[in-house]
Structure 1
């Protein structure tokens, strides 16, 4: 079964308030088996444009990635980042090759 991934590029405008979102998203991410592979850190945009922060979260399946995003727990957490950050998020199915 192919894994699922959240791939996000974002910008945080209020780091202190964003910490509340981070704390709130921990439970739904754990519930659905989410594991951070990339969480900020150094990077270079080689083509195109992207917001300044990159996050990649791996899930045990594509369905788990979708279910986590759609869960009540994550939707509640997401409300905490409204107005304090901006993100582009793609949920992608991994390749089993």
Structure 2
């Protein structure tokens, strides 16, 4: 099942260290099948309060996403970003193509009964 790394990178200075991080990150993703779906794109806030940038990376599965984040190559470059830009990152497994949200609601209702 496809998995995703979702990041909310806060506003901050885009300096040489951050640019070096951006230049090097794809090399850390490649061995794990990671690819950017959203990166440094304009976004529109419809609800809530969102400052900063959204980032979305797809992986073949959750294990690959975990292995990427824990990899020596990625751990080496993390400080280039975290010392300059605040952020939140989560890993999450996607849903199958035939996902039915109504069936999920029904299961939740049943479990609460």
TM-score (norm 1): 0.88
Q: Which of 1 and 2 has higher RCO (CA within 8 Å, sep 6+)?
A: 1
Q: Tell me the CA shift for residue 38 of structure 1.
A: 0.6
Distance 1:51 1:90 in 2: 17
Q: Tell me the CA shift for residue 16 of structure 1.
A: 3.0
Structure number with greater Rg is 2
- Structure 2 unaligned spans of 5+: 100-113
Contact 1:21–1:77 under 8 Å retained in 2:
yes
- Structure 1 unaligned spans of 5+: none
What number of residue pairs does the alignment pair up? 96
How big is each residue's C-alpha offset from its partner over 1:56-84, in whole Å with a ceiling of 9 and x where there is no partner? 00001111111101111111110211321
Moved over 6 A (4+): none
Distance 2:20 2:81 in 1: 8
SS across alignment from 1:21: helix
* Larger relative helix fraction: 2
* Larger relative strand fraction: 1
- Who is 1:20 aligned against? 20
